[in-house]
Each structure stands twice: as C-alpha cells, then as structure tokens.
Structure 1
Amino acid sequence: MKLNLLPLSFLATLAACHPSTKNSTAAITHPSINTTSTNGGTAPSPGLAIVQNNCAEPIYLWSVGSSVSVEIPVPGGAHYSETFRHDQKTGGVSLKVTRVAHGLYSSAPQTVFAYNVVGDSVWYDLSDVFGDPFKGSSVTLLPSEPVIRWSDGVPPVGSMVRVVGITEDLTLTFC
C-alpha cells in the first residue's frame, strides 16, 4: 500500500497555526544529507520515518536530535514524515509522540521512535516513557523483523531494536 504523503510545507503550516507555536521563532529544520559517496558515485536516497495517525483524535509529535522541532499536531487520518538523517551532535533522532498538546514539556506519557543512520543502515527502536500513551490501542512499526506490534498499545518486555537498509521507509502506525 502506497501512502499519500503530506508535503512538509503543509505540516509546517499546521504547526504554525497551532496555539503552542504561535509567536514562536522555532522552525522545523531537516539538514541536507550528503549523497556523494567516497568512490565518486551517488549513495542511495534515504528512506522516510513516517508516523501515521489512524486514531480519531490528533496526536502531537516532536522531532528531537541536537535541537527540538516545534510541536507538530497530526490530525486523525493524517501522517508526518521526515527523511532519515544523521544528527551531527547526537548521532540519532527521536520522534516523540504524545496524545496531549504540550506533552513533551509536561512529562506526559510518550511513545518514542528513535533512529540512527549508520552507513547504509538505519538502526531503530520503539519504546514508551512516562507511561503508555496508546494503552488500549494498537501500535505497529513496519517493516520490522521480528514484527513490532503492540496490539494493546503497551510494549512487551525486551529489546525493540531493529535494523533496515537506508533506502527503506519505516511506518509507525497508531490505532
């Protein structure tokens, strides 16, 4: 199934209209990725980290590396996506998702989709902190082997670390 991706400009407009971002000077920035390899060829284009909201209510997302994006509300039926990127200071990036506005700053329960680009691979992980915001709803992260699927919205015990090739898209779906 091919997802119909929303343009980043639409998401920036949504974020700019959200009360939490009015009069904010913060902006979502996604550093360009160097696609020139050392052998003079062109490296494959990186895939996308996609967060799909199939819940009836909005969810709230922040892209966190060495800086924190503005709060990005993702309405029910919509999604957010960003190209996999390597953060020069932290190495990895985390997409932090809550069910409440301003949740990142109020210690609300968060689901954290973390990834790190290493060469031609993307190492990724899914976890909850401060509680389980999607308890009672399904949470899946695909493709993953073994599959990451929390049918009750609560992570199982054990590691959720996986790896895919840099060109793969990863889709985290709520509800």
Structure 2
Amino acid sequence: MYLAIFSLVALVSTASAIGNAAVVNKCDDPFYLWSVGGAIGPMQVVSPGGLYAEPLHRDPRSGGVAIKITAVDNGLLNGAAQLIFAYTVDGDQVWYDLSDVFGEPFSGKRLKVSSNGGASIDWPNGTRPLGSQVKNTASTDDVVFVACA
C-alpha cells in the first residue's frame, strides 16, 4: 500500500534531487491544511482519497515547515484542534515529526508518517504515544503522512 502512495507522490514531483512532503486523506471526510513557515500559506481542502504535496524546503525565516491540519473548515484561524506534520531540511537530511495542539482532531483514527529510508511514526489511535516522535531520512526521500491509514 505504501509503495503505491510513494509512486503517486513521485508522479506529482518534479525532476529534482529533493523529496516531497505529502499528505494523503484516506478518511471518509475532508480535512483542511495550511503550510506554515515564516508565513501562513493558503488553506487547502483535501477531500477523501485526495493528496496534497509540496517539495521539501527550508523556510528562510523560520527554518522549518509545519503542515497544520484541522477537521473543520477554517480551523487554523478559529482555534480548532490541529494535527501538525512538521519537517526541517538540514542539508542532505530532513527531520520530521507529528504532534497535535488544542486537542486531537483524528482521535480514534490511525495516523502514519513514512519515508522511503527513515523510520515511521505510527499513532494507532490518532493520539500521541509517549516518547519522541522525531525521525529523519535523506532529503531526497519523500515523507508521507496518511490520515486514516
């Protein structure tokens, strides 16, 4: 299954030496996301079965990028529970993490972050397990978050 997702991400990537950060919605409902670094990007609606992807990059102002996901429309601006899929490109490595704030928007649903060469982050019940969630891989790899995995 994850091989198919990485293949799908490869289709949307450009011919470059950098990987992609991707978000896949396998849930029954849409969710809403924003790519946030030194500025907040426009809201994206990810429909069931949908995909959002961006090339891995280092934000020149903040250093890292947080893809903030809510279960409600305009949730970033109204204090809704947020899931944060964050990454930082550091030369030939990318460090990635999963966290939440203001609640657990995917409680009861499996969440997973995978890459071709790094360790996975797995939240079987949609809630943060104990311990560090920070992982790393080569910056040429795709890093894929799947909701309702």
| Both structures adopt the same fold (TM-score exceeding 0.5) | yes
Pairing partner for 1:155 from 110, 128, 136: 128
Pairing partner for 2:114 from 123, 142, 145: 142
Q: How do 1:31-70 and structure 2 match up within 5 A?
A: 45-70=17-42
Uncovered stretches (5+) of structure 1, i.e. residues with no partner:
9-43
After TM superposition, the runs of 4+ consecutive aligned structure 1 residues lying more than 3 A away are: 5-8
Q: Which has the higher contact order (CA 8 A, sep 6+)?
A: 2
Q: Residue 82 of structure 1 aligns with which residue?
A: 54
Q: Partners of 1:64 and 1:122 in 2: how far apart? A: 16
Distance 1:163 1:7, change over 3 A: closer
- Identity rate of aligned residues, in percent? 41
Pairing partner for 1:96 from 60, 68, 72: 68
| RMSD of equivalent CA atoms | 1.6
The answer to which structure has the higher strand fraction is 2
* TM-score normalised per structure 1: 0.75
Q: Which has the larger radius of gyration?
A: 1
Q: Partners of 1:66 and 1:100 in 2: how far apart? A: 23
Q: CA deviation at 1:96?
A: 0.3
Q: Partners of 1:127 and 1:47 in 2: how far apart? A: 21
Number of aligned residues: 139
Question: Which amino acid in the other structure matches residue 159 of structure 1?
Answer: S
Mapped pair 1:112 → 2:84: yes
Q: CA deviation at 1:159?
A: 1.2
* TM-score normalised per structure 2: 0.88
Uncovered stretches (5+) of structure 2, i.e. residues with no partner:
none
Q: Partners of 1:2 and 1:168 in 2: how far apart? A: 15
